Structure 1
Amino acid sequence: MPAVIAIFGPTGIGKTAVALALARRLRAAGEEPVAISADALQVYAGLETVTGAADATEQAELEHRLISFLPVEETFSAGQYAQLAHAEIDGALEQGRTPIVVGGTGLYLRAALTELSLKPPPPQGARERWTAELELVGAPALHARLAARAPWAAETIDPNDRQRIVRAHELLDAGALEPPSEDAPGPSQLWTAEVRQPTVLAGLTLEREQLYARIEERVDAMIAAGAREEVVRANAAGASETARKALGFDDLLTGDVEGMKRRTRNYAKRQLTWMRKLAGVETIDATDRDADEIAAIIDNLRRRQPPVPDPSQTPEAA
């Protein structure tokens, strides 16, 4: 059966609870699970509440890797994450443990499970320089400068998309942004079925109104648990541009709780759209099912898949 289990789904659907329930089933079967986060913002120490990272009780029940290890003032990229995630997954397998990759950041999930050709992080100081330039001249003017440097890149970016404009300039500085080629491969690597390790991928869905109701409750619970105070501290500590992408970061700084709820609902819609594109995903409707039931479905899906070949038993090895 597959060596790796992956759980994906929109925010608020209960992925952590399912991972915990699955871990209990695996232990009962003699396996030793470890969770590996596939979330772009749970990497930051000091943003645990606003990002919904596993709390101390949950981590005591199931070890979680790649959460809360990065200071909020540091930037982070999917390429950096991929290297760490591959090492954690491979290391767990070498130790005879079962990795449960769990998270809602689609790119990070794919980065953990596959070999993506990801763009490098920007050169030292490039992001700060281009961000300062953005604040000075504005997005349209910086987009016009991008059009002069690389018109083929500017064509695909909205003149008001601040983040992508800055990133394009960074990549040009790094020599990592090239014009499209007629020889470029067809389908995007993001949507291929190839994975680094045999994997069962479960995608959790929920009836839309129920999901939105859970998001409302989740945001209210975060506020009660001190999420606003958390982002105020992070902001005072000089939170990086990537850390500030945590859902609700800027909304909470201004006290706009309804804005945070609206952005979270929109993000959940994008996550569901991403899920529909994932190759090999086994979709599970979480409506009227608790975490134990969903864990049982994932476990059964995994056990029904063909066993992983033992390299030592191949004809070449013989």
Structure 2
Amino acid sequence: MAADPGPTHPPQHPVLVVGGPTASGKSGLALALADRADGVVINADSMQVYADLRVITARPSPADEAAAPHALYGIVPASMRMSAARWRQRALAEIDAAHAAGRLPIVVGGTGLYLRSLMQGLSDIPDIPADVRQAAMDLQAAIGSPALHARLASIDPVTAARLHPTDSQRLIRAWEVMQATGRPISAWQADPPRDVPAHLSFTTLVVEPPRAVLYARCDRRFLAMLEQGAEQEVAALLGQKLDPALPAMKALGVPEIAALIEGRMDRATATATAQQLTRNYAKRQMTWFRNQMPAALRLDAMELASGTAFTKFYDRIMADMTKNITKMG
């Protein structure tokens, strides 16, 4: 009788994940890797999905998009909400399409929820009824995010402890889940995830410049956005008369530029406030990547400026991908 060959495993297909805080240089690195590896750059930034926000979210330029295939940038209008589940579905489709075309999928972004959902699957949270969601948004608008954070802490202290008191989008999400299901979102997230992509092998790296360097880049980039037309972009967004609770209306820099346009802030105050909030956000992102992706290769993209350094780095990444596929197979 023939020997039992043992359990079979699906073939593994490589995916390179490039994470990091805003203004870290990860998009430029992803483009350089795509150029060298015949790759497709797939967006994992929750604000760069909005078509109306090219400048204020520092989306890749048209020249960058022409240099290598890019996917999931500017795919929905600001009037829509893009959930992690919807993004994940589209990202998996783009990854499969890249593999079918013989290209390497390179997923790049700083939205930890998107990256975690892609690599680890989704929590089995039921769909939230529209009226419950609207009630949660109305409550946040009425009492403000810090007060909602305090209320959340009384019923879901685990989630409240890891959310910033001004993170309105995630506070609303945590509140609506509790109201709709009677169970904290932290409990749902602790359940075994579903739809883990067993056919994919993820190799991860995190772009992590020194903090002082990163903060300086954040400040310079906001000034560059103003020079490139961010004020006109936000004015066009305001002209749509959208719900202020929509994610696109809360993108970094949008509320401050809106206040400048409407005369509620002077230019110096709007600029300084937006820069400070961007630095705060970058700090939270660094904490997330440090805690949630501890095994990722860490580097400062600026260290790869020389061709020799980049070639050595590229060879290491390719070797790691091969090792990961062999290990998982």
TM-score (norm: length of structure 1): 0.79
Question: Secondary structure of 2:108's match?
Answer: strand
Aligned 8 A contact 2:13 2:99 in 1: no
Alignment deviations for residues 189-224 of structure 1 (CA, whole Å, 9 cap, x no partner): 7xxx99762122111121222222222211111001
Alignment deviations for residues 213-256 of structure 1 (CA, whole Å, 9 cap, x no partner): 22221111100111122122213311552112311110111130
Verify: 1:207 aligned to 2:210, yes or no: yes
Q: CA deviation at 1:5?
A: 1.1
- Tell me the residue number matched to 2:257: 252
Gaps of 5+ in 2: 1-11, 261-269
Match of 2:34 among 14, 23, 28: 23
Matches within 5 A, 1:169-180: 169-172=175-178, 174-175=180-181, 177-178=183-184
Return 288-297 or 35-44, whichever deviates more.
Answer: 288-297
Does the C-alpha gap of structure 1 residues 262 and 140 become closer, same or farther in structure 2, counting only changes over 3 Å?
closer
Alignment deviations for residues 151-200 of structure 1 (CA, whole Å, 9 cap, x no partner): 6437854896654553244224543735877xx66xx97xxx99762122
Matches within 5 A, 1:1-318: 3-26=14-37, 32-117=38-123, 119=125, 122-136=128-142, 152-153=155-156, 157=160, 163-172=169-178, 174-175=180-181, 177-178=183-184, 197-237=200-240, 238=242, 241-255=246-260, 256-277=270-291, 278-290=293-305, 295-305=310-320, 306=323, 308-309=325-326
CA distance in 1, matches of 2:276, 2:72: 28
Q: CA deviation at 1:145?
A: 8.1
Does the C-alpha gap of structure 1 residues 220 and 293 become closer, same or farther in structure 2, counting only changes over 3 Å?
farther
CA distance in 1, matches of 2:158, 2:104: 44
Q: Which runs of 4+ in 1 moved over 4 A?
A: 136-147, 158-165, 178-181, 193-196, 291-295
CA distance in 1, matches of 2:233, 2:71: 22
Question: Secondary structure of 2:55's match?
Answer: helix
Over the matched positions of the two proteins, sequence identity in percent amounts to 34
Gaps of 5+ in 1: 27-31
Does the C-alpha gap of structure 1 residues 199 and 157 become closer, same or farther in structure 2, counting only changes over 3 Å?
closer
Return 83-92 or 195-204, whichever deviates more.
Answer: 195-204
- Tell me the residue number matched to 1:29: none
Aligned 8 A contact 2:159 2:186 in 1: no
Question: Secondary structure of 2:48's match?
Answer: coil
- Tell me the residue number matched to 2:7: none
Does the C-alpha gap of structure 1 residues 195 and 299 become closer, same or farther in structure 2, counting only changes over 3 Å?
farther
TM-score (norm: length of structure 2): 0.77
Does the C-alpha gap of structure 1 residues 106 and 141 become closer, same or farther in structure 2, counting only changes over 3 Å?
closer
RCO (CA 8 Å, sep 6+): is it higher in 1 or 2? 1
CA distance in 2, matches of 1:132, 1:179: 19
Does the C-alpha gap of structure 1 residues 107 and 295 become closer, same or farther in structure 2, counting only changes over 3 Å?
farther
Question: Secondary structure of 2:56's match?
Answer: helix
Letter in structure 2 aligned against 1:301: R
- Root-mean-square deviation over aligned CA pairs: 3.5
Q: CA deviation at 1:301?
A: 2.1
CA distance in 2, matches of 1:216, 1:146: 32
**Structure with more helix by fraction:** 2
Aligned 8 A contact 2:20 2:207 in 1: yes
Does the C-alpha gap of structure 1 residues 110 and 146 become closer, same or farther in structure 2, counting only changes over 3 Å?
closer
Q: CA deviation at 1:88?
A: 1.5
Letter in structure 1 aligned against 2:272: E
CA distance in 2, matches of 1:144, 1:132: 16
Question: Secondary structure of 1:3's match?
Answer: strand
Letter in structure 1 aligned against 2:183: L
